[in-house]
Structure 1
Amino acid sequence: MNQITRSGWSAYGLAGLVIVFDQAVKAWILGLGLRLYESRPVAGVLQFTLVPNKGVSFGFLRADQDLARWGLVVFSLMVAAMIVWWARRAHRPLQALGYGLIVGGAVGNAIDRARFGWVVDFIDVQRIGFFPWVFNVADSAITVGVIALLLDSLRREPAAS
């Protein structure tokens, strides 16, 4: 059996932190008593707007039926499991960062979908004018994780000796 690298353990730890933070923030948001689609100004262009996202990403590919909902839960967890498998052999910090953020975000949103039938989205910066979507901590983690993996893929490999 292959040993898990130090970066792999870092990815696992980060994924766990993202899941806990994501779920804690969502619990706090749900505890504010916002009605669906109600907005509450926070600071500057930031406001909280409670939006039930039945779609995959930014509301695309809606899962209005239970079969689709549970299919998305299973798919998210399968993708997370695949990335957990890859992360065990991670050797670079940026790679571990990407894996951990993506796994944590995918599992965080899968938990919402399993619990509520939709993902809890609430971060709203629409007043900026060019970003019309409402998102959450897990979505942000997935986005930053993908960027980290893309940046990691641009690294130069040392020449073989």
Structure 2
Amino acid sequence: MTDKLLQPSVPNQVRAYQRRWLMIAFAALVLDIITKAGVSALMPYGQSVPMTGFFNLVHTWNTGAAFSFLADGGGWQRYFFIVIAFAVSVWIALELRKPLPASQALAYSLILGGALGNAFDRLLRGHVVDYLDFHLGGWHWPAFNVADIAIVCGAALMVFSSLRQANDVSKEKTNE
């Protein structure tokens, strides 16, 4: 009887598995919040500080989505993007309760942390703070932040994971 008490139960293992992915999402969220707060506190809006020949630290706002999509929508887009971010976040949190391949769970975790980071910015500030500005030959990539990096890395990992799983299924069918 003592041995059964010392061995972790299956539900405890599942909760630890879920907690790991939620902690990664939380880490991405916290890093995003801290960096945006630092930029907002230390740099006036519109300031650009050249760091290298291809990178500036800037303080800019995005009222739209990726690449300033719908930025001039008149204000309604703020609430639209908040609702979308929270709906996606709830769906991802529910997905993370299921057993998933590690790459897929990591992808979901990064997307969750990034989506919540930008959603909280929209809730608290009415816009998303962006501060990373890469440029080359006078051409600037749209400024972005840690939340955006987490979302893009999560999406890329999701695509990679899906392609890898499809390749594994294809190999299994070939071997049959």
Alignment partner, residue 34 of structure 1: 44
For residues 9-158 of structure 1, the aligned pairs below 5 Å read 9-36=19-46, 38-62=47-71, 64-127=73-136, 131-155=140-164, 156-157=168-169
Letter in 2 for 1:27: A
Alignment partner, residue 8 of structure 2: none
Letter in 2 for 1:69: R
Gaps of 5+ in 2: 1-10
- 1:152–1:129 Cα change, 3 Å: farther
Gaps of 5+ in 1: none
Q: Deviations over 1:27-48 (max 9, x none)?
A: 1111212332x21012342211
Between 4-13 and 102-111, the greater mean CA deviation after superposition:
4-13
Q: Between Structure 1 and Structure 2, which shows a larger proportion of helix residues?
A: 2
Higher RCO (CA 8 Å, separation ≥ 6 residues): 1
Measured after TM superposition, the shift of residue 74 of structure 1 is: 1.4
Q: Contact (CA 8 Å) 2:43, 2:59: kept in 1 or not?
A: no
Measured after TM superposition, the shift of residue 146 of structure 1 is: 0.3
TM-score, with length taken from structure 1: 0.86
Q: Which structure has the bigger radius of gyration?
A: 2
- Helix, strand or coil: the match of 2:136? helix
TM-score, with length taken from structure 2: 0.80
CA distance in 2, matches of 1:23, 1:96: 22
Number of residue pairs matched by the alignment? 158
Backbone CA RMSD of aligned residues = 2.3
Measured after TM superposition, the shift of residue 131 of structure 1 is: 5.0
